[in-house]
Amino acid sequence: MSTPTGTPHGVDPRWVRKVTTPDGHTWHVLDNQDALDGRTPVGTLLCVHGNPTSSYLWRHVIAAATESGQPWRVVAMDQLNMGLSDRTGVRRRLGTRLDDLDRLTDALDLQGPIVTLGHDWGGAISLGWAVRHTDRLAGVAVLNTAVHQPPGSALPFLIAAARLPGVRRLVTATTPIFLQATLGIAHPWLPSRVRAGYLDPYRGADRRTGIDEFVEDIPVDPTHPSWDALEDIVQGLPRLAELPALMLWGPRDPVFTDLYLRDLRSRLPQAQVHRFEKAGHLVAEDAPVAEAVVRWLTDDVTPAISSPSSTVVTPRRPTGVTTPRRELWAPLDERADDPRPVLLEPSGAGNDQLGSWRATSWRQLSSDVNRVAAGLLDQGVRAGDRVALLVPPGADLTVALYACLRIGAVAVIADAGLGLPGLHRAVRGAAVKHVIAVDRGLLAARALRWPGRRIGVGVKADSRLSRVLGVTTTLDDLRRTTPTQLPPGPPPEAEALVLFTSGSTGPAKGVVYTYRQVEAIRDALLSAYGLRTGNDDPVDDDRFVAAFAPFALFGPGLGITSAVPDMDVTAPRTLSAKALAQAVRAIDATVVFASPAALANVLATAGRMADGDRAGLRDVRLLLSAGAPVPAELLGQVQELLPSAGLHTPYGMTEALLLTDVDLPGLEAVGPGNGVLVGRPLPGVEIVISPLDAHGAADSGDTTTKHGVTGEILVRARHLKERYDQLWLTQKVTSTPDGWHRTGDVGHFDAEGRLWVEGRLVHVLSPAGGFVTPYGVEQRIQAVPGVHRAALVGVGPAGSQHLVAVLEADAPGGVAPLNLAARVRSAAAVELAAVLVTDALKTDIRHNSKIDRTHVAAWAAGKLAGSR
């Protein structure tokens, strides 16, 4: 039997040790104690690998913990029969491996505080060691793993296939198929020198026996020899409930899926969770696990060690004026007998008559919400359950949403604009227990095997389609539930909503809002724009057209009648001028919400409006346009259609929907500048700037409100989100202990205290002469005749990037004609390496307005490299 020699890539030779335990077995151990150079560690991180890996899995964690300002000793062993440790000739079952780990930690004389970290079946072993040694324990952390097979669930396909008679030993020991397959599901493909680090300890069938034994030792039922040992671990987990816990997960894992994450979260509910959306089974290779672990040790574990009785400090939020709470559903209760309409939506082909609209009265909506809330309770939906709402804006979605809110169920809203893959990631990642959906959503739930109860909208419960789709009941059936006394509403601190971002700068993120924060958004809307509601004469109340998805559901909560125009709200460019005008006329609307992309199409189709449509638009008093920067030129053209309206462009994001505001006169008075003017902070909103360094990175130190300083925009407000959902690391790096949210936008204040947005932090360019922000340059280029839109991107490595302008213009695609390029270079006022023309700049999937600069930069790089 040959034993590999040499130090693999990424392993410091100072870490390598051989440790012999009293039973005579020698372990290969990575231990950074000598690399700490005399510094006293905070504690010991005990890392346990699974199958078919080795201690090599933890090299990044060891390096990061060694270099940390608060260093930790890290001990990572190769389990017996695995890696470079002894081949004992004896099968190591789960109970044996726990005993083995006890002997090793005793031989190393590991004293507290100790934190365990495990992956794959090393997760179960590390937790087993933890429940045996709570007296020395300071915390537990796991990567993709499991301690239980939930009833009714199938064993993962890859594991089941590998355990087939006659197959297991062939793929695990005789050949390296199992090992190679595990390495093959890394995202991205592992470099050859890293693959060698995993493969070298297992060269030869005689060195792979431990891989085979590990696969066989998975206890799938009570008859398995290791079942009792695993049950002991499960029964001991409650003893860890008061300790810091961390779960780092790769959702693309075909073995340890989100099914096991949900099970672990139910057993360790105090755990912080981060799902790395693009990562899979080898999450430690796919994602910045080392950064997350060290951050958790520093921020959560070390303070608990230093002061065990200390409590977590809640970030400060601006409080503003304290007023009695008004629940979101209060207007529904107050207007339970009101026959007037609260919501109108298209009901057919549409024409100028009110009869083409489906009207829902306050009385009907109040009754439906209460009946559906009672029906959901009867169906087993409970407070805190996550409910995916896959229903187009309108009465059905409004009823479902407010019924969920009324009983404390958490509404998960991810619009269809994310595309099926994005929607799948959102629903699975949000740990949804129930799905309320139209036929397309039900088909997705069936095809993608989303968990939970399925409630149909627009389908019949007894139809063949419903049976195929697994529909248990329908929204219409719930509307017929006998009214009952509902329990008291949820407290303000309870979770209310999970809203998903657009995904324009990476996988869409779930943003958690509590009831208090959603109510604060409502209050901010009412106060910022003087919305009129609750007057004795309803003629004096505002009525609004909701053509912008984030605000399409706020009407009933605001106490305001609303209409949804004939469009796909998740695709703003489907709003025509005629559809907008008909919605305005249907309710005599005084307020319109629409995105810039929607307004652009309204202007493009305005010539097809009838005179009656144009007349109806003249009484609108307020237009709000949000979701992307709004050019003053666009608003000026909209003003001609809405001559009586004040045109406002609030700045915000999914994490904080309303932050600043500016109107058209304000934009026109100031004129062009370096970026997009978004105005002054709204009441109760605080904004500061974190200056950029010379390379365009955000300074993590001081903040400022001085004018002319470009940096990342930080915000704080009562209606700021609670946190990102199961994105603990993202929440950590985008928030401060005193409650500031790092928006990822860059900008500056002018001398009058107005905020200008210059672009996204990830899109700041870094040529040799210092950083360049994109928006101001793009605006100057877009003023060139013949240029419709522009994107400024960088090609090449950071610090020496070449700036390239990519245009939608009146010119053929490819390299811009010389005369156009010359005008663009003159207007840009920065050195451009190239000017390119494309048919269409790729935009985000929700607003149809935000340019996907990552895609555009890759396209530009390809063009300049000569690709077709």
358 and 477, same structural domain?
A: yes
The pLDDT score that the predictor gives to residue 285 is: 98
Residue 436 lies in a domain: yes
The pLDDT score that the predictor gives to residue 351 is: 47
Domain limit, last residue, from 246, 281, 306: 306
The pLDDT score that the predictor gives to residue 846 is: 47
352 and 269, same structural domain?
A: no
346 and 432, same structural domain?
A: yes
Per residue in 419-456, pLDDT (tens digit) is: 888 888 888 889 999 999 999 999 999 988 888 889 99
Tokens of 9: 């890539």
Question: What span, in angstroms and rounded, lies between the C-alpha atoms of 302 and 299?
Answer: 7
Residue 425 lies in a domain: yes
Strand order in the sheet with 755-760: 651-653, 656-661, 676-681, 755-760, 741-749, 711-716, 686-691
Tokens of 846: 């929700």
CB 348 within 8 A of CB 326: no
393 and 288, same structural domain?
A: no
CB 589 within 8 A of CB 541: no
As for how many domains the chain has, the answer is 3
The pLDDT score that the predictor gives to residue 847 is: 47
**Closest by alpha carbon to 650, among 670, 635, 636, 633?**
635
Strand order in the sheet with 543-547: 357-361, 341-346, 561-563, 543-547, 591-594, 622-624, 646-648
The helix/strand/coil state of 578 is: helix
Residue 21 lies in a domain: yes
- What CA–CA distances, in Å, run from 724 to 260, 410, 474, 516, 601? 21, 14, 31, 16, 33
433 and 289, same structural domain?
A: no
401 and 253, same structural domain?
A: no
855 and 769, same structural domain?
A: yes
CB atoms within 10 A of CB 831: 12
Residue 742 lies in a domain: no
352 and 292, same structural domain?
A: no
The number of C-alpha atoms within 13 Å of 439 and in the hemisphere containing its C-beta is 10
Give pLDDT < 70 ranges for the chain.
1-5, 152, 308-322, 348-355, 504-505, 536, 538, 549-550, 700, 843-849, 867-868
Domain residue limits at 830: 765-864
The pLDDT score that the predictor gives to residue 106 is: 97
Question: What span, in angstroms and rounded, lies between the C-alpha atoms of 276 and 291?
Answer: 13
Domain limit, last residue, from 284, 306, 328: 306
The pLDDT score that the predictor gives to residue 319 is: 53
CB atoms within 10 A of CB 583: 28
In terms of phi and psi (left: phi > 0; alpha: psi -120 to 50; beta: otherwise), the region of 152 is left
Question: What span, in angstroms and rounded, lies between the C-alpha atoms of 340 and 705?
Answer: 48
- Going 185 to 188 to 192 to 197, the CA torsion angle's sign is negative
478 and 416, same structural domain?
A: yes
Question: What span, in angstroms and rounded, lies between the C-alpha atoms of 525 and 531?
Answer: 7
- Residue written as token pair 């494309």: 838
The pLDDT score that the predictor gives to residue 612 is: 85
Q: Which residues in 511-539 are b (16+ Cβ under 10 Å) and which e? A: bbbbbbbbbbbbbbbbebbebbbeeeeee
The pLDDT score that the predictor gives to residue 488 is: 93
Question: What span, in angstroms and rounded, lies between the C-alpha atoms of 713 and 698?
Answer: 10
**Closest by alpha carbon to 125, among 95, 105, 159?**
95
Q: Residue 808: beta bridge partners?
A: 789
**Closest by alpha carbon to 240, among 149, 150, 129, 143?**
129
Residue 269 lies in a domain: yes
Residue 95 lies in a domain: yes
Residue 68 lies in a domain: yes
Kindly report the CATH number assigned to the domain that includes residue 774: 3.30.300.30
**Amino acid residing at 865:** A
- Residue written as token pair 């090793």: 104
Kindly report the CATH number assigned to the domain that includes residue 404: 3.40.50.980
Residue 552 lies in a domain: no
Kindly report the CATH number assigned to the domain that includes residue 80: 3.40.50.1820
CB atoms within 10 A of CB 165: 6
351 and 285, same structural domain?
A: no
**Amino acid residing at 79:** Q
130 and 276, same structural domain?
A: yes
Domain limit, last residue, from 288, 306, 324: 306
**Closest by alpha carbon to 510, among 519, 497, 520, 525?**
497
236 and 133, same structural domain?
A: yes
